[in-house]
Structure 1
Amino acid sequence: MIEWDLPNVHHLQVVVPKQAIDVMGHVNNTEYLRFMEQIAWHHTQALGLGWDKYQQLNRGMVARRTEVDYLAPAFEGESLLVGTWIVENDERISITRRYQIIRESDGLTLLRGRTRWVCVALDSGKPRRMPPEFLSGYQLTARED
């Protein structure tokens, strides 16, 4: 049984590819960051804020700070469920996402993490206030207690 830390998870399934495995025989820590970016972008697109909208608005969200707790290893061929929630939105320039990665076969949580994303102008890379489309699109999907 899969137990997500928070309700209303946005998730996707990934199967660990051979190229994700490091010399220690398990998923390399940088691959987990890729999974986290993948689910963040997948969720962003589901919210109607894909690359076309980013370009139209000259705004995008970039990672400012990421914290990761690696709890257990994953191995080639395993099916993982990667989930995310938006847990903070300062309604100015930043949002915070939480992540959880679960091994589907046994329901074990392999990773918990969070990233603070900051709104920037695409043409300059400088921090800018979120446009109205981001304020309405990046609403909280879960509350932390």
Structure 2
Amino acid sequence: MSWDYPNPFVHRVRVGADAIDRMQHVNNVRYLEYLEQTAWAHTEHLGLGWEVYERLNTGVVAHRTEIDYLRAALLGDELHIATWCTANDGKLRLERSYQIRRPADDATIVRAVTQWISVDLKSGRPKRMPAEFAAAYRVTGG
């Protein structure tokens, strides 16, 4: 696979019938769900499961997502969704980049970037990220 950055975290999905829209390809909303699933899988891989978020009373919420749809994925396609932390100020903001590839033809289907903000889980207000977040969400791409 030709990844945009080295050493990605990769989450794999198989496109099911529930992802297909009237145009007979994956609906654009489903790609956002794939990105969110991949972000959580990577977060848990980094040792920051929901129980850690609750213990620290801190989480990250999406502030902005940009998605470039480059090709259509179809029913039955296997997709590899890669992610990297591409920026982290160690305070409030981190950035996660994504690349969705179809291994059958080595095509990039989607590229995306999400800006995340560290927040207090109880109030929902911005909150300085704990040292655990700054360390785990270290920049690995970009």
The equivalent of 1:136 in structure 2 is: 135
Structure 2 unaligned spans of 5+: none
Residue in structure 2 matched with residue 64 of structure 1 by the alignment? 63
TM-score by length of 2: 0.98
Q: Which residue of 1 aligns with 2:88?
A: 89
The one-letter amino acid paired with 1:6 is Y
Amino acid in structure 1 at the alignment position of 2:15:
V
Task: Tell me the amino acid that sits aligned with residue 110 of structure 2.
Answer: L
Q: Secondary structure at the match of 2:3?
A: coil
Matched residues, number: 142
Mapping 1:19-30, distance limit 5 Å: 19-30=18-29
Task: Tell me which residue corresponds to 2:112.
Answer: 113
2:52 aligns with 53
Q: Is residue 59 of structure 2 the alignment partner of residue 75 of structure 1?
A: no
Counterpart CA distance in 2 for 1:37 and 1:121 is: 20
Which residue does 1:38 correspond to in 2?
A: 37
- Moved >4 Å (runs of 4+): none
Query: CA–CA distance in 2 between the matches of 1:96 and 1:44?
Result: 13
Q: Counterparts of 1:123 and 1:105 in 2: how far apart (Å)?
A: 44
What is the distance in 2 between the residues matched to 1:17 and 1:94?
A: 34
Report how far residue 22 of structure 1 moved. Answer: 0.5
Q: What is the TM-score with the length of structure 1 in the denominator? A: 0.96
Counterpart residue identity of residue 100, structure 1: Q
Counterpart for residue 7 of structure 2:
8
Q: SS in structure 2 opposite 1:11?
A: strand
Deviation at 1:141, TM superposition (A): 1.1
**C-alpha separation in 2, matches of 1:43 and 1:141:** 12
Cα-Cα RMSD:
0.6
**Paired amino acid for 2:13:** V
Deviation of 1:121 after TM superposition, in Å, equals 0.5
Q: CA deviation at 1:111?
A: 0.4
Question: CA shift at 1:135, angstroms?
Answer: 1.0
